[in-house]
Amino acid sequence: MISPRKIKICIYVVGLMLAVGRINAQESPGRVQAGPMRIDPRIERALKAVSAKRIRANIDKLVSFGTRSTISAQDPDVVTSGHGIGAAREWLKAEFERYSKECGGCLEVKTDSFIQQPEERIPRPTEITNVYAVLKGTDAENAKRIVLVTGHYDSRNTDILNITDAAPGANDDGSGTAVSLECARVLSKLKFPATIVFLAVAGEEQGLNGSHHFAEMAKQQGWDVEAALNNDIVGGDKNPEQDHSLVRVFSEGLPAAATDQHIRRIRMLGGENDSGSRQLARYIYDVARTYDTEVKPMLVFRLDRYLRGGDHYSFNQQGFAAVRFTEYREDFHHQHQNVRSENGIEYGDLPKFVDFDYVAHVARLNAATLASLASAPAPPANVHLLTKSLENDSTLTWDTPRDGLATEYEVLWRATSSPEWEYVQKVGTARRATLQLSKDNVIFAVRAVDAQGHRSLAVVPAPEH
Ligand SMILES: [Zn+2]
């Protein structure tokens, strides 16, 4: 009979052999395991400035408007009385303007207003206003590149058409709105080559109306939105099953904006796990490995939760990379409910269920992602994988972006069955690299890196015949 100790040793040896085999197959000079980024001390300091106290004050303020239903009254006297969505809108504008004053007018505070015609959840023509602040990039070429954070400031209770009863929306989505505000406050103290947009949208509960209008405007005006971070229900509801060390990050697989030709290529080559949004999710994973954000992203490879939707989808529809942050475990008694007690259960989306420290951690993860991307070079353009002939080596080519920040490029790869990038090879300033690895067995990508180690998003190559 074999003793348990011998079995243990056997398992250990077999495990070691497997591990060695795997490393040997992948290792050669210049190739290393993919890992965290280089810490930027400026970003690290900015994260320390994120304040749970400020976030709490902002969520309490949003709740104080009673209801922020998109279809609630917005006439001037109601706005003056501090009630309804119009009052919330005016306060958001004033808050962004206050941050701008603190940074010598560095933010451009704007609104995007439109009249939404009646539809299922909008009984009469309704003015919907998105409020946003722009921290313009410091050099002309990079300023065209935009990274964006958003939350929805509208709220609802049990009845989507109810505009009179309380709809506190502390978690959904006072928390996300507070993340966007706090990112604006701390990041406006810094300067970045690329542009950051801090957004608060309305109409989410009615049917993603605000974000739809905003993303469409961005597309029509030719904005180069590299990343949109949607925070919706990031309050870390204090239920016993909550895990305050995790935040879910949802990303679409098959891009909503993919053409038929694109879908055919995805089907042929196994690209269903490599949308731009998924590269953004992987980037967030790397950010969390780099900075001390306390909360870690749990990547969910799915557009959204069952039966639910969110504003990131509006950006996906326009072809932009966008993800959704949501707390690990939602308590549905505390969302979309009239405030009440029934059979000993408390219903309603009240501030007392929100964990403000958790929201601050999520805000740090967002701020670190925005700051890293806005500091980084543009992603390499026209990335191709040469497929002219049958061969076991793989050659990738790309164009140098015009932004001029990149000092080197890195080729990444992973097994087709792996969720995250596993290996990286530095290839200097070349615009072409040949690796002794079969493209049939791995998925490749290329990213740009600057002198301080800021990384662009990774770009998966298209085949070139
Ligand atoms: Zn929501």
Give the CB-side neighbour count of residue 42, counting CA atoms within 13 A.
Answer: 13
| Range from 61-65, 154-158, 426-430 carrying the lowest mean pLDDT | 426-430
C-beta atoms surrounding 22 within 10 Å = 12
CB contact at 8 A, 59 and 178: yes
Model confidence at 13: pLDDT above 70: no
Sequence letter at residue 405: L
Distance between Cα 205 and ligand 1 center (Å): 7
DSSP 197-262: EEEEE--HHHHSHHHHHHHHHHHHTT-EEEEEEEE-S-S----TT--TTEEEEEE-SS-TT--HHH
pLDDT (tens digit per residue) in 334-349: 999 999 999 999 999 9
Model confidence at 7: pLDDT above 90: no
C-beta atoms surrounding 150 within 10 Å = 33
For residue 409, is it left (φ>0), alpha (ψ between -120 and 50) or beta? beta
**Nearest-angstrom CA–CA distance, 457 and 324:** 17
Distance between Cα 446 and ligand 1 center (Å): 34
**Nearest-angstrom CA–CA distance, 350 and 63:** 8
Distance between Cα 335 and ligand 1 center (Å): 9
pLDDT of residue 8: 47
pLDDT band at residue 19 using 50, 70 and 90 as cut-offs: very low
Model confidence at 28: pLDDT above 70: no
Q: What integer is the mean pLDDT of 438-448? A: 97
pLDDT of residue 57: 98
**Nearest to 278, CA basis, from 421, 180, 399, 462:** 421
pLDDT (tens digit per residue) in 261-298: 999 999 999 999 999 999 999 999 999 999 998 999 99
pTM of the model: 0.93
**Nearest-angstrom CA–CA distance, 14 and 154:** 56
Model confidence at 324: pLDDT above 70: yes
Q: What integer is the mean pLDDT of 419-440? A: 95
CB contact at 8 A, 443 and 423: no
pLDDT band at residue 404 using 50, 70 and 90 as cut-offs: confident
Angle separating helix axes 356-375 and 176-187, nearest 10 degrees: 50
pLDDT of residue 29: 55
Distance between Cα 326 and ligand 1 center (Å): 9
pLDDT (tens digit per residue) in 30-70: 679 999 999 999 999 999 999 999 999 999 999 999 999 99
Q: What integer is the mean pLDDT of 195-207? A: 98
Distance between Cα 200 and ligand 1 center (Å): 12
Name the DSSP class of 379.
P
Give yes or no for a cis peptide into 40 (omega within 30° of 0): no
Q: Please report which helix (H) or strand (E) contains residue 463, including its range.
A: strand 462-464
Distance between Cα 169 and ligand 1 center (Å): 9
Model confidence at 21: pLDDT above 60: no
Distance between Cα 172 and ligand 1 center (Å): 5
Mean of all residue pLDDT scores within the chain = 93
For residue 132, is it left (φ>0), alpha (ψ between -120 and 50) or beta? beta
